[in-house]
Amino acid sequence: MSLFDRAVASALPIVPRSVVRRVSAPYIAGATLDDARRTVATLNTAGKRATVDVLGEEIHTEAEARAIAAMYSDVLEAIEEDGLDANISVKLTGLGIKLDLDLCRSLLEGLVHAAGAQGALVRIDMEDATCVDDTLALYRELRGQGLDNVGIVLQAYLKRTLDDIEDLRDLRPSVRLCKGIYIEPRAIAFQDFAVVQRSFLGCLEALLDRDSRVGIATHDEHLLVESLARVEGRPTSGYEFQMLLGVREGRATELVAAGHPVRVYVPFGQQWYEYSLRRLQENPRMAGVIAKATMGRAVGRS
């Protein structure tokens, strides 16, 4: 991690809100559902799929959790009305997993049933290590009910992930594989960058070998090249590449042109500021990537 990355992340709390908005603008669709609809439509026109995330996992009451679920229902309706190639990504903290597990289960089931009625998938995002067991348990419960339009996320930097892949083998799950961004202790998470890269590729190979459908979520060029080698000759129905909105857009376009499916993560909502600070502080390297991309755009316009 470079000094530049660390400097950008540490300075964020004192940066004016207007500046954070400008920095975050490339990778957040906007504050409203209409913003998200327009962004997804533009991505679809460019041959890219989308997954829509409603910002606001920092909830403290049942009413807030139900409001997040209601907004996701609105997203599903918009996807169907507009004929968009998109699904939704749901953080279970936003549905109350740390507040009331039964409430979270009920809200999640409702969204999965609603999405299933229109042929859409609900991707359950993975959060910090304290959520992993409950998240995987809820995923397995839903699959046990015969609900197949639900996917999960696994994080390559957690030392447990290969075991989790084996435990889920019977389900042939739809998995988004990412490195992981939460700061976790050395006892449970790999810390060395190269080790995380090796773990990512090992997890990818394990998922492909078990006939899982894999969302390869990375902007790391080394991992992209190595992942392309591992999916060569495989049907595109078994994998897709996934990237954040506004990050490495040119590379995503290259992948589409080469015939690979690409899905872009599209967050939107009123809590864009909180989301921006949290994501950038949790992952200083991402702060650096986005800041450099933003500066690159500015130079290109000058």
Which residues have a catalytic role annotated? Answer: 125, 176
**Residues 264, 45: Cα–Cα separation, whole Å:** 13
For the chain, give the secondary structure using H, E and C. Answer: CCHHHHHHHHHHHHCCHHHHHHHHHHHCCECCHHHHHHHHHHHHHCCCEEEEEECCCCCCCHHHHHHHHHHHHHHHHHHHHHCCCEEEEECCCCCCCCCCHHHHHHHHHHHHHHHHHCCCCEEECCCCHHHHHHHHHHHHHHHHCCCCCEEEEEECCECCHHHHHHHCHHHCCEEEEECCCCCCCCCCECCCHHHHHHHHHHHHHHHHHCCCEEEEECCCHHHHHHHHHHHCCCCHHHEEEEEECCCCHHHHHHHHHCCCCEEEEEEECCCHHHHHHHHHHHCHHHHHHHHHHHHHHHHHHC
12, 280 contact by CB (below 8 A): yes
The residue among 51, 40, 44 whose CA lies nearest residue 174 is 51
